[in-house]
Structure 1
Amino acid sequence: MKKFYIAAIVIILLTPLGLLAPGSAWGEWGLDEIKSMIGYIPEGMNRFSEVIKAILPDYSIPGFDANFFQQALGYIFSAVVGIAAIVLIFAILGRIMGKPQKKMDSFLEKTILSIQSVFEDMFYSDAISVKKGIMQSLDTRIKLISIFVLLIIVNFGKTIPFMTIFLIYTFLLAYFSKIPLKAYVVRVSAVSIFFTGIVLIPSLFNVVKEGQPLVYFTKNFYITKEGLESAIVFMMRSFISLSFVYILALSTKWVEILKALRVFKLPHIFTATLEMALRYIFLLLEIAINMFLARKSRNVGKSDSSEGRKFVASAMANVLIRSQQLSDDVYNAMVSRGYKGEYKTITTFKITFYDYIWIGFNITFLSILWYIHP
């Protein structure tokens, strides 16, 4: 952090150099300069210029820009405000998104914990896929087709009531598939609501989507009812779509998904590569964590973070070499056993009574939904 502070201070002190450059900075032209360059002022720029005003116009403090010294102080002050705002935003995001973890003594321990979290996610998924729930009892082919159809229908939805019905549907599906609702909501919301919501913020305002005023900030700058409704629908659509994918991934083993994809004529080389990649990623992760634990068990006292980073870098190179050797060994072993581009699995698919009930339920559900909400 000390180096960061030094670099930030140096950058801040050098910002007044911009005053010595002739002309305007590229991309920071005013309306008059735009008009002189292209012959007219774009309508959008003209409208925004009346609504959005810079807090520190021209990187200066209003009323304190009479000479070069005052302008230089304005540049420095603007840089301080900008860096402070960025640090504050990322600090808030870190608080919101960061996982509560115990304080790590070294970079090595952090790396071990990260690898362990990958295995925890894998075991979490496998544990749910063997539970006795609605999705777990269905044939994988039926699950893939039904989820695909539901995703298409959801993405055609344009109203809040329509999305609310599907939102309730996904919650009930997750609950009866034995998926922990808290983890489900947190994981899906982190992407579908938080990140999507940030992208949709501009669409709330009248400068992007005209409509009935809802919340005023200024006379010409306000949130519209139509903008808010469209943003809510978009976030709900994103949440529901990710929910279906999340439920499918947790309730179905990866091997079964790949075999079902082969049934739908996905190229064998593609599915074989995916399956082997997943299998050997975890094998290589196990090798890596064994290396880290062996190093940790032979350390006495606390290790320096820089030494930990050096060891991680060397371990990455070692694992890369091992992976190349392993790929050659596996390929030779497969060829010697008669591999010709296609392999067999012991998993068999069979449509059962539960699949027919599932198909009938969804057809009835979608028919009623179409009738009450065409």
Structure 2
Amino acid sequence: MGSGFSLLLGLAVGVAVSSAPWPVKAALILYDSSGTLSLPVSQGRNSVSGHVFGDSRQPLSDVHVELLSDLGQTVSRTRTNGSGRYAFFGIADGRYKVRVLPYAADYVEQTQDVSLLPLSAIPGSGAETQQLDFYLRPKASANVGPLSAPGTVLFVQEVPAEAKKLFEKGIADLRAKREKEGFESLRRSLEIFPTYFAALDRLGTEYAVRGNLDKKYFEAARVLLTKAVEVNRKSFSSMFGLGFSLYHLGLIDQSIEYLKSATNLHNKMINGHLWLGIALKRAGKLAEAEVALKRADELSGGKEAEVHWHLAGLYSDQKRHKEAADELEKFLKNKPDARDAEKIRQVIGQLRQKAPTP
């Protein structure tokens, strides 16, 4: 059809009434040089706008959104902006559908109906504005690893098809408890695409949580998650997993750096603050450690036994005997079947005796 865009206004000359099956008075249709529909815009006074959110109410940018006729034909297309907002203007009266197509993200497609039927004494002269927000659900195949934080914003990459296929196979194998096959598929996906963030993060965090079985897992996690945070510095799971692994490898100062970054990214993860407190205590930064551990205690509602255990150790080191005893009692309250529970009760008694009387 020649270079650039050709403009078709209904018929060959002038503006003709559209014969489209949806109620449009006149249609302005743009085709590119290949004849592909680019942006149909119906001529009217109505509008539809809204926001597209992920599962944690995080706005999703650059997501495709379509306005469809009641019969399913595409009337217009757009993408969400940096705030997750989309908008369609100049829409004729009628019933439509708005469809969100998160092609590059691990969310399920969603469609909602909308009616644009303004009340007016003169037909066609009124206008209606509709607000239609979308809250997308993650796909079942989404990368939800062992250290993932709820509401994590998905990191979008252009991934080679074969690498993505291997990644999805690896996730399916891990869900089915086929650990060996799952790890192998994730490794192969990284051979094809070495900066594949989802694969780096998932394999790295899976290794991190297995480090207590074999220290080699912590070293492998360190390598993978160091690369992951180079690719995406906004991932809690990669930051926390790296800090956690570095701590267990004895690299305390480095672990504190990444654990602090993790808690800054997601301030409501109990484990983030717990392990930051543990690392700070080991580094001798007791005041900072207490702040981190108390934050973990606050987030858990006082129900995380391990937080009380480490607070007790912190207070004992500072000879704050009464507070140490109080924390050990809270530990036993939350974990009454703890190993050596009777010995812990004896320690509580000893701490009470050492505590200054009011």
TM-score by length of 1: 0.23
Structure with the larger RCO, 1 or 2 (CA within 8 Å, 6+ apart): 1
More helix by share: 1
More strand by share: 2
